[in-house]
Chains A and B, each alone.
Chain A
Amino acid sequence: MFSRHAQRGQVLPLYAFGMMSLLALCFFLFQYATTIRWQVRAQTAADAAAAAALSVQTLQWNQEMMALHAASVEEYRIRRLTQTLLLVAHYSGGCSATPSTSAGVCATDFATLQPQLVAAVKRYGDDIALLHQLSYPTAASQASDANTVVQALQANCGTPLGGDCAFDYTMTAYSQRSDMQAVSENPNEVMVGAGTIPAISANVEPARVEVVVCKDVKPIIPSILGLKLPTFRAIGRAAATTAMVTEEWLDPGTIVNPATNAVFLPKETEAPSRAVSAGAYDWYTLNFGGNNAVAYPSEDAYQLSSENDELSAYTGWWSTIQMQPFAGPLNEASISCAE
């Protein structure tokens, strides 16, 4: 049997233990919430850096795509102008060798057409020169620029050009994507994964990049009851690759531009119309869209009969998309980590 004096303060240790437990719970709850928040923040910073690094390649390729489309339009124009000049030189297509009331003089038409061909050739040459310039950077220089951009994110952190100042940034991998699939196309279908991929230059292969951001987050309380609390390492690891985010087909001579309510590329009258007879084909007008497609929305399809010349543009535009990290286990010794 205990005396009354011996029972005094008996609750105190229990109370103290309970309070310590609650405080510890409170601390770990706070620490857990901090961990989650830092992890999300780190991942966002890494994703942003990977997208920025790859924009070196995507920007270049989109510029090339613009120049390439301009060159293809000009090339189509040159083909048609050359054909028309050939007809006129042979007194064909509707013009006349001698003046008449119903047809123009071929020599006059030739004089009208010739400077147009010269101008088209000049522009085509400029387009090709531009393409040459745009495609000048190699895969190696793209990788170098990507690394420079990642370093610039850290150097400019806190400014509109920079990344998150809390982290250290490291580009841990950059390479060309090796999992490309061959695409085979015929008039009826496009098949992905069919056939083999020919050997192509690394300069035109989509790149992939891996970026790691890191920060050692110290606990708000260094230690509890002599127990040193560990530092939490917030690591964001992101990989991204260059991908064709939009693929499109445009028949610029047929499809109406919603911004202008006219077709993207209207007919061009190369020389006064010399139709051979009423309703006959006008050889002297350049028509980019010689065939009309019929859409069948209910069947998600369209029908296009290829009866005349036309310019059909298949283009793809590039941006970055996130992907699974590809460089294997992360070697933490190879990255720097902000304190």
Chain B
Amino acid sequence: MRRVSHGERGQALVETAIAIGGFLLVLYSIIWIAQTAVIAGRLQMGVRYGSVVTAEISPYVDYSLYAAYNSVANPSQPAYTCTAPPAGILNDSAPLPSPTSAPFWQPPSSTVSASCTMTLGTYSQYALNRPFLIEQTQQAFSAAEPTPRFLAAAIGASTSMTASARFFRTPDIATVAYCFPALATTVHRSLVHDDASVAAEAAPTPIPSQPASNATALSAQCQ
């Protein structure tokens, strides 16, 4: 029969307590890493979703004769529709509904922020063969997750995660009219035929054999 000496009493309990403590520490760390990894991955998906959707958000309005007729008379920069990363991506709701995950995998909604801005770019400092114009979107998506208490002292009370992306798309017709005023003017002249416009026309001239160099120049406000 095995007998335990007084010096070894409770030793197994202490060892087990230490082992379990260490084990739980690592286990919870794994769970926390998994949690932040899932959220960070979803943020990255969110900016991708916003980028791709914004690129083709309303083709029937952006690219159409309707846009041409209504923009060439008084060209102005249109109000762009920029789709920010949808918060629903973080909790499995719209626009990508799926079986709802437990709240554990979702950041507190108060920490979620999303933004989308659209600007024009020209690359005018490069030696391109013709004036270039492009619409650029900047997506940003961020969230924060409370850090487990046992890690808070080491890495802070919460973990912030951010994803961002830039995307590009062909300029819509209204923007083309706004940024290429000579093009808009020429098109507008052909769509309006009244006494004043007739009287304003000079005598016809031969069509030049070589392309002119200024008719498709970018306007100053787009450079």
State which of A15, A32, A152 has its C-beta within 8 Å of the C-beta of B126.
A152
State which of B165, B182, B205 has its C-beta within 8 Å of the C-beta of A48.
B165
Residue of A nearest to B65 (CB): A250
1/0 per position for A1-17, CB-CB distance to B under 8 A? 00010000001000100
The interface residues of chain B lying within 8 Å CB-to-CB of A127 are 186, 190
Inter-chain CA distance A71–B207, complex, in Å, is 13
The interface residues of chain A lying within 8 Å CB-to-CB of B168 are 48-49, 51-52, 55
**Residues 68-103 (chain A) with a chain B CB within 8 angstroms:** 69-71, 73-74, 77
A111 within 8 A of B: no
| Interchain CB contact under 8 A, B65 and A319 | no
State which of A37, A137, A259 has its C-beta within 8 Å of the C-beta of B130.
A137
A287 within 8 A of B: no
The interface residues of chain B lying within 8 Å CB-to-CB of A252 are 65, 69
Q: Bin chain B's interface residue count.
A: 35 or more
Residue of B nearest to A18 (CB): B23
With A25-B30, A164-B166 as given contacts, are A63 and B215 in contact (CB-CB < 8 Å)?
no
| Interchain CB contact under 8 A, B216 and A149 | no
Most buried by B among A73, A119, A125: A119
Residue of B nearest to A132 (CB): B211
| Interchain CB contact under 8 A, B212 and A22 | no
- Which of B34-42, B90-98, B106-114, B149-157 binds A? B34-42
A129 within 8 A of B: yes
State which of B40, B55, B59 has its C-beta within 8 Å of the C-beta of A246.
B59
A175 within 8 A of B: no
For A, the interface residue count at a CB cutoff of 8 angstroms equals 94
1/0 per position for B156-190, CB-CB distance to A under 8 A? 00000001011111110100110010110011011
Inter-chain CA distance A321–B63, complex, in Å, is 14
Give the shortest distance, in Å, between B47 (CB) and chain A (any CB).
7
| Interchain CB contact under 8 A, B166 and A163 | yes
Give the shortest distance, in Å, between B175 (CB) and chain A (any CB).
10
Inter-chain CA distance A164–B48, complex, in Å, is 13
| Interchain CB contact under 8 A, A161 and B26 | no
B64 within 8 A of A: yes
Interface of A is mostly: helix
With A29-B30, A44-B51, A130-B215 as given contacts, are A121 and B204 in contact (CB-CB < 8 Å)?
yes
Give the shortest distance, in Å, between A119 (CB) and chain B (any CB).
4
The interface residues of chain B lying within 8 Å CB-to-CB of A120 are 193
1/0 per position for B194-209, CB-CB distance to A under 8 A? 1001110111111110
| Interchain CB contact under 8 A, B165 and A69 | no
A282 within 8 A of B: no
State which of A41, A122, A245 has its C-beta within 8 Å of the C-beta of B59.
A245
With A148-B126, A164-B166 as given contacts, are A4 and B134 in contact (CB-CB < 8 Å)?
no
Residue of B nearest to A72 (CB): B190
| Interchain CB contact under 8 A, A69 and B65 | yes
The interface residues of chain B lying within 8 Å CB-to-CB of A123 are 186, 189-190, 201
The interface residues of chain B lying within 8 Å CB-to-CB of A56 are 128, 132
The interface residues of chain A lying within 8 Å CB-to-CB of B180 are 63
With A26-B26, A51-B55 as given contacts, are A317 and B197 in contact (CB-CB < 8 Å)?
no
| Interchain CB contact under 8 A, A73 and B191 | yes
| Interchain CB contact under 8 A, B48 and A43 | yes
| Interchain CB contact under 8 A, B129 and A268 | no
| Interchain CB contact under 8 A, B51 and A63 | no
State which of A4, A55, A128 has its C-beta within 8 Å of the C-beta of B5.
A4
18 A-B contacts (beta carbon < 8 Å): A22-B26, A23-B26, A25-B30, A44-B51, A47-B167, A51-B169, A59-B132, A69-B68, A70-B190, A115-B198, A116-B198, A120-B193, A125-B205, A129-B207, A132-B207, A162-B166, A257-B70, A286-B193
A interface, CB within 8 angstroms of B: 4, 11, 15, 18-19, 22-23, 25-26, 29-30, 32-34, 36-37, 40-41, 43-45, 47-49, 51-52, 54-56, 58-60, 62-63, 66-67, 69-71, 73-74, 77, 115-116, 118-130, 132-134, 136-137, 141-142, 144-145, 148-149, 152, 160-164, 245-246, 248, 250, 252, 257-260, 264-265, 268, 286, 313, 315, 317-321
The 5 nearest A-B residue pairs measured at CB: A33-B37, A317-B63, A133-B211, A70-B190, A119-B201
Known pairs A49-B168, A69-B187, A122-B204 / 10 extra A-B pairs, C-beta < 8 Å: A33-B33, A37-B40, A51-B167, A62-B63, A118-B201, A119-B193, A125-B206, A132-B207, A317-B63, A317-B173
